[in-house]
């Protein structure tokens, strides 16, 4: 497989560290607000990467953090703590905020058929690991304490800017919006590993440490969680392009200084989803979520389909017109597939030939939109029988995850079935027949459907 590596700025052949196995780390969401569809595009990109690796026969171990502490609004060491911003906005505790938005994130994540990583770890669960790393960095002279905080000293590295193709003077303070000068730092590009001086009143998430009571910086969490769960040598680490600097640059600096050797071989970055006014962002006012798309009547998989039609390294501009278009095409495609008759014997040669074309495209830096073209070619191909076509589509859909052979009728029937069960349960509750109500809930749960009673009525979730 060939994959673009931000570290070398080249498409490179992928060579794993341990034969047949891949360690994959994905930077997770900051759970101070809903994840917008731009964030979800990024996770669809990672999902496709994981499923492609699996299609090619690798065994993937994937880890993702949940940022529930330490991420400041500047992505650097100035600005407000994002969780504190949310606390003020919603009058809840930081832990309540994190719990609520983590659940909301995974709801949307699953709606677009993203697989939950093998390990998902909140930043607040790994404080010991950050302390261990920071202690060693201090001991080895890579870090220093100043004004109460612990900072990483970037002058100790030969090539701090290895991941970015920018020059140092473009990246330092003043050049980047929202980053304030900090006179506690030896170099303005140094970054905080641990904050003990909280400028926020009633800062809630604080831990004791050898450097004082405080909280970790944002970057240290991904180094800590990755090394803890995936070891000292990592195959692939990914995020959105905005993570290249400073987040991933700082992760490399602190991880490699701590480990004493090269840490991660391939850096995978997804381009942004834009809206008419530019990059979508959580701090930008109204947040468009996958759930909101669903409320407006769209199938979340139409959004996934839309993302799959553009390369992960290209910006994608979102508009409702474009989504309408994607939904129509997606529906037509499913309709066509539902008309294929599963007849004949599997034609192995034809199967292998189409499968090879598919493998060639996914192995070429995840050229997924070309695999959709292969699908159209296959559908048109009168030389291939129904059995072979369906076998190929089912196989390709392990990567796409578009539920292409699940018919629209099946979806409709399932929805109608669930809604009728919810109604039966509501009636049972009205009649105070709670045992029947519980029985209905458990029946659904056994089928993988969870009911949730909310202020707006009973909602359901299809568990994967
Ligand atoms: P955050 O929750 O802000 O930490 O972001 C979660 C992930 O989404 C990060 O890896 C970001 O790089 C990525 N991201 C943020 N905005 C966008 C966007 N507009 N399009 C695609 N990815 C994004
Ligand atoms: Zn990260």
Residue 38 CB less than 6 A away from ligand 1: yes
Nearest alpha carbon, ligand 1 atom 3: 30
Nearest alpha carbon, ligand 1 atom 14: 39
* 13 dihedral zone (left: phi>0; alpha: psi -120 to 50; beta): beta
Residue 42 CB less than 6 A away from ligand 1: yes
Q: Which fold has domain 2-140+221-274?
A: Rossmann fold (3.40.50)
- Expressed in angstroms and rounded, the spacing between residue 351 Cα and the centre of ligand 1 is 38
State how beta strands 149-152 and 143-146 pair: antiparallel
Nearest alpha carbon, ligand 1 atom 23: 39
Residue pair 88/94 in contact by the 8 Å Cβ criterion: no
- Expressed in angstroms and rounded, the spacing between residue 240 Cα and the centre of ligand 1 is 6
- Expressed in angstroms and rounded, the spacing between residue 244 Cα and the centre of ligand 1 is 11
Whether 335 shows a pLDDT value over 60: the answer reads: yes
* CA atoms within 13 Å, Cβ hemisphere of 27: 25
Ligand in closest contact with the CA of 222? 2
| pLDDT tens digits, one per residue of 359-388 | 999 999 999 999 999 999 999 999 999 999
Residue 41 CB less than 6 A away from ligand 1: yes
Ligand in closest contact with the CA of 219? 2
Tokens for 105? 């994130």
Whether 355 shows a pLDDT value over 50: the answer reads: yes
Residue 272 CB less than 6 A away from ligand 1: yes
62 Cβ neighbours under 8 A, 6+ residues apart: 24, 25, 26, 46, 50, 117, 118, 119
Whether 200 shows a pLDDT value over 90: the answer reads: no
| pLDDT tens digits, one per residue of 136-163 | 999 999 999 999 899 999 999 988 988 8
Q: What is the sign, positive or negative, of the torsion defined by CA atoms of 306, 310, 313, 316?
A: negative
Residue 280 CB less than 6 A away from ligand 1: yes
| pLDDT tens digits, one per residue of 76-128 | 787 778 888 888 899 898 899 999 999 999 999 999 999 999 999 999 999 99
| pLDDT tens digits, one per residue of 2-49 | 999 999 999 999 999 999 999 999 999 999 999 999 999 999 999 999
What pLDDT score does 173 carry? Answer: 44
Domain boundaries, the chain: 2-140+221-274, 296-400, 411-462
Cis before residue 246, ω within 30 degrees of 0? Answer: yes
Ligand in closest contact with the CA of 86? 1
Helices (H) and strands (E) in the chain, counts: 15, 16
| Confidence tier at 198 by pLDDT (50, 70, 90) | low
What pLDDT score does 409 carry? Answer: 61
Whether 193 shows a pLDDT value over 70: the answer reads: yes
Ligand 1 nearest atom to the CA of residue 71, by list position: 4
Task: Give the mutation target among 26, 35, 37, 39 for probing the ligand 1 site: most ligand atoms within 8 A of CB.
Answer: 39
Q: Model pTM?
A: 0.88
């Amino acid at each position: 497989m060939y994959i673009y590596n931000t570290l070398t700025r080249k498409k490179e052949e992928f060579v794993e560290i341990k034969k047949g196995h891949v360690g994959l780390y994905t930077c997770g969401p900051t759970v101070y607000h809903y994840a917008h569809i731009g964030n979800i595009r990024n996770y669809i990109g990672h999902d496709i990467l994981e499923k492609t690796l699996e299609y090619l026969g690798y065994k993937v171990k994937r880890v993702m953090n949940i940022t529930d502490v330490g991420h400041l609004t500047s992505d650097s060491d100035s600005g407000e703590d994002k969780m504190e911003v949310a606390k003020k906005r919603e009058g809840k505790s930081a832990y309540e905020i994190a719990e609520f938005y983590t659940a909301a994130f995974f709801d949307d994540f699953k709606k677009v058929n993203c697989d939950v990583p093998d390990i998902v770890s909140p930043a607040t669960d790994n404080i010991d690991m950050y302390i261990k790393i920071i202690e060693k960095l201090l001991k080895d002279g890579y870090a220093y304490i100043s004004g109460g905080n612990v900072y990483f000293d970037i002058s100790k590295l030969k090539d701090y800017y290895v991941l970015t193709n920018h020059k140092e003077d473009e990246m330092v303070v003043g050049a980047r919006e929202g980053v304030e000068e900090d006179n506690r730092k030896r170099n303005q590009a140094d970054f905080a590993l641990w904050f003990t001086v909280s400028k926020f009143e009633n800062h809630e998430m604080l831990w004791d440490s050898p450097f004082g009571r405080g909280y970790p910086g944002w970057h240290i969490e991904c180094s800590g969680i990755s090394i803890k769960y995936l070891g000292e040598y990592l195959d692939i680490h990914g995020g959105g392009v905005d993570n290249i600097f400073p987040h991933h640059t700082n992760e490399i600096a602190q991880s490699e200084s701590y480990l004493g050797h090269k840490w991660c071989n391939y850096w995978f970055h997804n381009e942004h989803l834009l809206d008419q006014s530019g990059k979508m962002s959580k701090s930008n006012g109204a947040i468009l979520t996958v759930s909101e798309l669903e409320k407006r009547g769209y199938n979340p998989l139409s959004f996934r389909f839309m993302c799959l039609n553009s390369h992960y390294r290209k910006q994608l501009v979102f508009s409702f017109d474009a989504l309408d278009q994607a939904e129509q095409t997606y529906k037509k495609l499913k309709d066509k597939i539902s008309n294929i008759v599963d007849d004949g014997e599997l034609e192995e040669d034809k199967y292998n030939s189409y499968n090879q074309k598919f493998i060639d495209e996914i192995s070429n830096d995840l050229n997924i939109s070309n695999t959709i073209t292969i699908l159209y070619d296959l559908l048109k191909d009168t030389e291939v029988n129904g059995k072979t076509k369906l076998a190929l589509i089912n196989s390709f859909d392990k990567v796409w995850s578009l539920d292409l052979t699940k018919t629209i009728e099946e979806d409709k029937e399932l929805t109608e079935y669930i809604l009728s069960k919810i109604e039966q349960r509501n009636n049972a509750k009205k009649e105070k027949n709670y045992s029947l109500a519980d029985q209905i809930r458990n029946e659904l749960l056994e089928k993988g459907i969870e009911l949730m009673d909310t202020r707006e009525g009973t909602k359901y979730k299809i568990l994967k």
